[in-house]
Structure 1
Amino acid sequence: MKVVVAVDSFKGSITSMEAGIAVKAGILAAHPEATVIVKPLADGGEGTTDALIEGMNGKRIDLTVSGPMGDPVRTYYGYLENSNTAIMEMASAAGIMLSDHATPQEATTYGVGEMILHAINNGIRNFIIGIGGSATNDGGIGMLKALGFSFLDQNGKDVGEGGQALEKIVSVNMSDKMELLSQCHFQIACDVTNPLCGPNGATYIYGPQKGVTPEAAPVLDAGMANYAAVTASVIGTDYSLAEGAGAAGGLGFAFLSYLNGVLTPGVQLLLNAIHLEEEIKNADIVVTGEGRLDHQTAMGKAPVGVAQLGKKYGAKTIAFAGSVTKEASACNKAGIDAFFPIIRGITTLEEAMDPQTAKSNMKSCAEQVFRLL
């Protein structure tokens, strides 16, 4: 029996790999002869870097960059030596949790560019970057400026930082951009389809949660449209209507327009990165799960991505979760053959989320399920 295990983290409790290793222990208790492969699982959002560092023997690289409001922040990214790949979360440098929300028009992605620059200077050429949870609405010009691009006003001077600068852009100077960028490949984990501008664009849809007021939104959106027009005149292609261009306050547009980035749904990108499909091809059973299974899980979250690969190759898919809701039955229609909550008795939330308790519950639940198989 070959079993492939890819369980998302139970946030606030156990990591993806801790969950997977606990499942493996339970399977082997029931079937000592089984071949059990454990892979990390994430969706491109928070926790992705940690999951891949832990699950793929990556290295954590710490550094200090400019935060969204210009203050220094400590951050890190992961390095996968085998593929010479950096794993980054833009939110760790320009995330909404790092913002004061008071002046969203000044928030910058400059620190994201500093992270990329640091990696390039260390010889890294491949990038997987999650761009959820931003505090910014600057169209990605901060990131690009850190990489050597210049955005100039009518007097040929730098336009400044943040979304407020976009309306001032008259020209773009790319003569000083980092030459090594041409050797780099950017895969961007992006789960939104919004265009750059307009009522469904970055400013109107995501601006309010970052502190953009109804009065400021039209001005910022007009600036975004100006930035898009100038960019199109410079590169010869207009990506402003591309799906995901409005992600992370227009950071998606910057990757598409200036860095030849490829925007991919986070789950698919991460499943490709861990080479999960190759392992599932000859698997008998696939195990997945996450902290809470509900109707949102069925709407394309990581466990369903795993289950769909299982279906593709005729493997049964089982899911374990800290808790399940009545609506979790939608997961069965989405490809999970059966799911099981791991809680074994009446308990408090604090007790259930204790890492040792969670791992013990996971192991025990997996063992009992696999005794049936």
Structure 2
Amino acid sequence: MVRVLLAPDKFKGTLTAAEVADHLGRGIRARRDDVEITTAPVADGGDGLLAACVAAGYDRVEVEAVDALGRPARTAFARRGDTAVVELAAVAGLAALGGRRRPLTATTRGVGRVVVAALDAGCRHVVLGIGGSASTDGGAGLVRALGARVTDGGGHDIADGGAALLDAAALDVQRLDPRLRDVRLEIASDVDNPLLGSLGAAAVYGPQKGATADQVALLDRALERWADVVATATGVDHRDDAGAGAAGGVGFGSVAILGAVLRPGVQLVLAMIGFAERLRGVDLVVTGEGSLDEQTLRGKAPVGVADAARRAGVPVIVVAGRCRLDDLQVKEAGFDAAYSLVDEAGSEQEALTRPGPLLERIGARIADGLERAS
């Protein structure tokens, strides 16, 4: 019997990772009812992290927090034993805001509230996935929810959001939640940007969050001010660290103030869901994501899956909404073959509006290949 493991990431804006796997599975079964299919949805630290962990057997724990605009929001973290998995995108993500983007005032305070809930539940290992952020506040909202205080020159608490960091004059960490001293905090991230400058949090990711050119410049100045204040308070400067600019500077705030460790997102996620064990006895892995491009090669989920599969001696097929890599890049990334919805449909519009049926057609084509190989 041929055994196939379906391990896609989400197709952002269209289908969740679980839905992608479901459609691919239907297509394979339509051609071959003797194929044993298992699924392991994956993520790289952004949208879909909670779902991937819950699919792997973690419990979903509902909590109350606030979203990136400070509005009450029902969200959750995933838990197994004393490990909690917090997805920033699930509480303070850009996707949840629709068109209501507030690049200057969006906050990560709600993320901190979810971390507090995990600590209240007795968790002593917290994994925070920080992709999909709606804010550029340098992690100030996160650390303030955990007890830090950020004040202006008059000793008053500053407002939430990245722009307010221009008023920051002092950081007081004396009231940080004392439980953090006994907690291992790991940050799952797939970017290596520094905090400031042309490659920094504001310049690279601010426009995605609705920031104009003038607002990007303002946010960069505000983050520089924040970095100065944090360095004065802690005695260490982390602004140039690789990954400091992740999630609008959450990477910076987490490392500099909370003592977190940044980890490559997909590697951390694959370890948490026991992906290496899932590969045992598998004949083929099928992974994928919405866009297969240069960003994929910098450590996105499909490449992480391909690396793990290659170490286990299992061939890998990648399926994407669109593929912007040439054949050589596909091979060098560790994929034995690549399929795209755009190629299958003949147009990007159909790929966006009918991803499910197109995935099923690709699943059938993959099954045909299995039939020839068996």
- TM-score normalized by structure 2? 0.82
1:51/1:304 Cα in 2 relative to 1: closer, same or farther (>3 Å)? same
Inter-partner Cα distance in structure 1 for 2:345 and 2:100: 42
Q: Deviations over 1:40-87 (max 9, x none)?
A: 22222222222322x213333334422323232x24223232453223
Q: CA deviation at 1:252?
A: 1.0
Q: CA deviation at 1:2?
A: 5.7
Structure 1 residues 14-25: aligned runs within 5 Å: 15-20=16-21
Count of residue correspondences: 367
Q: Does 1:56 align with 2:50?
A: no
Q: CA deviation at 1:229?
A: 2.0
Inter-partner Cα distance in structure 2 for 1:131 and 1:217: 20
Q: Deviations over 1:318-366 (max 9, x none)?
A: 3345666783663223111124568989996588434xx4675465344
Residue 287 of structure 2 corresponds to: 289
Q: Deviations over 1:276-307 (max 9, x none)?
A: 23443x54533122255644445543222212
Q: CA deviation at 1:3?
A: 4.8
Residue 147 of structure 1 corresponds to: 146
Residue 70 of structure 2 corresponds to: 70
Q: Deviations over 1:146-198 (max 9, x none)?
A: 11111122332212222233233332222222122222222222222221123
Residue 250 of structure 1 corresponds to: 249
SS of equivalent to 1:79: strand
Contact 2:68–2:91 (CA<8 Å) still a contact in 1?
A: no
Letter in 2 for 1:126: H
Residue 353 of structure 1 corresponds to: 355
Inter-partner Cα distance in structure 1 for 2:360 and 2:16: 14
Residue 364 of structure 1 corresponds to: 364
Q: CA deviation at 1:313?
A: 3.1
Q: Using the TM superposition, name which of 323-332 and 83-92 deviates more.
A: 323-332
SS of equivalent to 1:226: helix
1:242/1:327 Cα in 2 relative to 1: closer, same or farther (>3 Å)? same
1:195/1:235 Cα in 2 relative to 1: closer, same or farther (>3 Å)? same
Gap regions ≥5 residues in structure 1: none
1:70/1:324 Cα in 2 relative to 1: closer, same or farther (>3 Å)? closer
Q: Deviations over 1:106-153 (max 9, x none)?
A: 222111111211222222333232222323222111111111111122
Contact 1:75–1:93 (CA<8 Å) still a contact in 2?
A: no
Gap regions ≥5 residues in structure 2: none
Inter-partner Cα distance in structure 2 for 1:35 and 1:243: 42
Inter-partner Cα distance in structure 1 for 2:254 and 2:18: 31
Residue 93 of structure 1 corresponds to: 92
Inter-partner Cα distance in structure 2 for 1:211 and 1:340: 32
Q: CA deviation at 1:31?
A: 8.4
Structure 1 residues 103-114: aligned runs within 5 Å: 104-114=103-113
Residue 6 of structure 1 corresponds to: 7
Contact 1:187–1:262 (CA<8 Å) still a contact in 2?
A: yes
Contact 1:164–1:220 (CA<8 Å) still a contact in 2?
A: yes
Q: CA deviation at 1:203?
A: 2.5
Q: CA deviation at 1:315?
A: 2.4
Q: Does 1:43 align with 2:34?
A: no
Q: Using the TM superposition, name which of 90-99 and 120-129 deviates more.
A: 90-99
SS of equivalent to 1:40: coil
Residue 115 of structure 2 corresponds to: 116
1:259/1:202 Cα in 2 relative to 1: closer, same or farther (>3 Å)? same
Inter-partner Cα distance in structure 2 for 1:110 and 1:345: 42
Inter-partner Cα distance in structure 2 for 1:300 and 1:71: 33
Inter-partner Cα distance in structure 1 for 2:95 and 2:247: 10
Contact 1:18–1:359 (CA<8 Å) still a contact in 2?
A: no
Name the Cα RMSD after superposition: 3.5
Identity %: 31
Letter in 2 for 1:327: D
Q: Using the TM superposition, name which of 303-312 and 90-99 deviates more.
A: 90-99
Contact 2:7–2:288 (CA<8 Å) still a contact in 1?
A: no
Contact 2:135–2:247 (CA<8 Å) still a contact in 1?
A: yes
